[in-house]
Amino acid sequence: MVITLVLAPAVVVIPPHVPWALGVLATGFVLARRRWTHRFTLEDLEATCPRCGARLEAVPGRLRMPQPVTCSACGHDASIEIDAEALEAGAA
């Protein structure tokens, strides 16, 4: 957010001025909010596709509730739901 507060005055000189500054500020707000609400990180996943039985692979990153996972073998879109209370208890 601080970086975008520094960038906003710099990009405001580029016509059409206001949309650039608002865009930079909005981007900073969205990125700051994402970082603020990021609680858990998905590092690895061991699961099988309910349709074809192939191993499901997830991209490491922010853990979402539910976590969407697409089977690379059949293209089935699945989601993994994790008990938030169990995660909180495990983190403590």
Instruction: Examine residue 80 and tell whether it contacts Zn ion (CB under 5 A).
Output: no
Q: Which residue among 51, 60, 65, 84 contacts Zn ion (CB under 5 A)?
A: 51
- For residue 29, give Cα distances in angstroms to 10, 11, 32, 41: 17, 16, 5, 21
Instruction: Examine residue 74 and tell whether it contacts Zn ion (CB under 5 A).
Output: yes
Minimum distance of Zn ion from residue 48's CB (angstroms): 8
Instruction: Examine residue 3 and tell whether it contacts Zn ion (CB under 5 A).
Output: no
- Closest to Zn ion by CB, 24 vs 56, is 56
Q: Which residue among 5, 10, 22, 52 contacts Zn ion (CB under 5 A)?
A: 52
- For residue 39, give Cα distances in angstroms to 16, 45, 46, 70: 38, 17, 21, 22
- How far, in Å, CA of 51 to CA of 74, rounded? 8
Instruction: Examine residue 56 and tell whether it contacts Zn ion (CB under 5 A).
Output: no
- How far, in Å, CA of 90 to CA of 80, rounded? 18
Which parts of this chain interact with Zn ion (CB under 5 A)? 49, 51-52, 54, 71, 73-74, 76
